[in-house]
Amino acid sequence: MAVKSADPQARHEESVITAERINRFGLLARRVTAASAREPITVSYPVTGETIGNVPRCDEQDLRSAARRARASQKEWARRSIAQRARVLLRFHDLVLRRQSEGLDIIQLENGKSRVQAFEEIMATATAARYYARSARSHLRQRRRGGAMPVLTSTRELRKPRGLVGFIVPWNYPLTLGITDALAAIMAGNAVLIKPDHQTPFSTLWAVELLEQAGLPPDVATVVTGDGAELGPPIVECVDFLMFTGSTRVGKLVAAQAGERLLECSMELGGKNAMLVLADASLRRVIDGALVGTFSNAGQLCIAMERIYVHSSLHDVFVQRLAERAAELRIGGGLDWSKDVGPLISRQQLERVNAHVEDAVEKGATVRAGGRARPDIGPLFYEPTVLANVTSEMRCFGEETFGPVVSVYPFDDEDEAIDLINDGPYGLNASVWTRDTGRGRRIAERIDAGTVNVNEPYAAAFGSTDAPMGGMKQSGVGRRHGAYGIQKYTEPQTIAVQRLLPVTPPMHWDGKVYATALSAGLRLMRRTPGLR
């Protein structure tokens, strides 16, 4: 089936790479301090391949210099009250919404995604800023804890900022992943050192610019740009906590480096996410959800759906309708709201998607929609693709494709379908579709994934900023969002004050008398309600 695209003539009438925009990217690039005179990194517009700007290619010395500046700024920032920090984040929230048109342009120009999907990043960033500004006092407050000896021991738990937190972030959601985790760390009193992907640095730089305009002191949020393989190891060496978002393969390498320092880290990694469509599901709602869940950001989304298990009573009509709707999606570029699916980020990503589809077809899979690159639209476009008859020997069966490709499988037995979903190394996100939401919740509890959405592909769970989000198994360690999402950037400290009698006896006491008395006290506490 042919996929709709923008009119090629209209696409070339006026370039979106204007002198004004190139100048703006140049100003953002100046926020990166680099002493080295190495060849800069060129950033391209994925829709056409045109250059939109350059950023410094930082080396290890540049990174360590940035880390020193951040540490120096952190001490003063940590002394500010939570209320003072919150005011900065709320002003940032307002600036993001007020200047969203500029932010949307930047996201689209360096990433290529459609404007409505770029808006998801604006929304997620504003939401995270508001949430942590409003909730940090509760998450970080001192808490009374049960003492060693009731009445005689007073114990409190404090939360202290770790110091300097490092962030290694990917290209697929350059604003959301470039700044929202860092907002929580900043709100907790830390300084942050952010290394965006070399393909998409400008969204992070824009966000840091807005933070400083909102009142964040210089260098509390510092950005370095360069190659991940070169800068990753020294980042691990010079920070006090690390947040990494990316592939499982690279995550394992980073975790091994962090382990040598006993450095704590949080990671969101790969996924092979599944939808489960039960026999009573609304086909109209499921098709709408499948299109969004599979083809948002051209499938370049860690929590996107790559597998759909459909009850056999609905399978054939589901595949037909999904293929028809996928073929109607509008693929193309531009900075307006008229496109549904943008390009892939790079030639490497295009080759991976193409290899997965070709491998599946060679081994017997059926292409029900899409299945080919579209160089007539632009160098990195690939049609939204629906595959049937996919089997376990095909690469797309178990490997993460990270592109606009989904495989559909029939099932008869619900337990067997859940086992199929749980089979494999990943456990990031899943989706269950049924008219009976109570049943949907019960099934969701049986799926081994960090987030499970009922009657929604991914946004309901990700958008619930008060709840933790992350992966099980090889899809990650730790969580973002919620209390965990800010508390992980702190060190818990216990302060206990002892009154009158000591917990441990002085050396000259009769040990047997002490043990007898304490044993009687322990037996009494065993029978006393309310004592922990």
Positions marked active-site = 268, 302
Note the helical H segments in 242-346: 248-261, 283-295, 312-328
Cα 113 from chain centre: 16
Pair 125, 175: CB distance under 8 Å: yes
Give the span between the Cα atoms of 326 and 314, in whole angstroms. 18
CA angle 295, 53, 25 (to 5 degrees): 90
Cα 288 from chain centre: 23
Sign, CA torsion 227/228/231/233: negative
DSSP class per residue in 489-507: TEEEEEEEEE-SS-SS--T
Note the helical H segments in 264-311: 283-295
Give the span between the Cα atoms of 329 and 144, in whole angstroms. 56
Helices 202-213 & 100-111, crossing angle to 10 degrees? 160
Give which of 332, 343, 342, 335 is closest to 105, Cα–Cα: 335
Phi, psi of 365 (to 5 degrees): -70, 155
Give the span between the Cα atoms of 131 and 92, in whole angstroms. 12
Pair 179, 209: CB distance under 8 Å: no
Give the span between the Cα atoms of 132 and 241, in whole angstroms. 19
Q: How many CB atoms lie within 10 A of CB 460?
A: 15
Pair 221, 208: CB distance under 8 Å: yes
Cα 299 from chain centre: 15
Helix (H, G, I), strand (E, B) or coil at 379: coil
Pair 429, 449: CB distance under 8 Å: yes
Q: How many CB atoms lie within 10 A of CB 436?
A: 13
How many helices (H) and strands (E) the chain has is answered by 19, 20
Give the span between the Cα atoms of 137 and 188, in whole angstroms. 9
Pair 44, 416: CB distance under 8 Å: no
Q: How many CB atoms lie within 10 A of CB 66?
A: 24
Pair 56, 39: CB distance under 8 Å: no
Distances (CA, A) of 170 to 195, 243, 269, 490: 9, 11, 11, 24
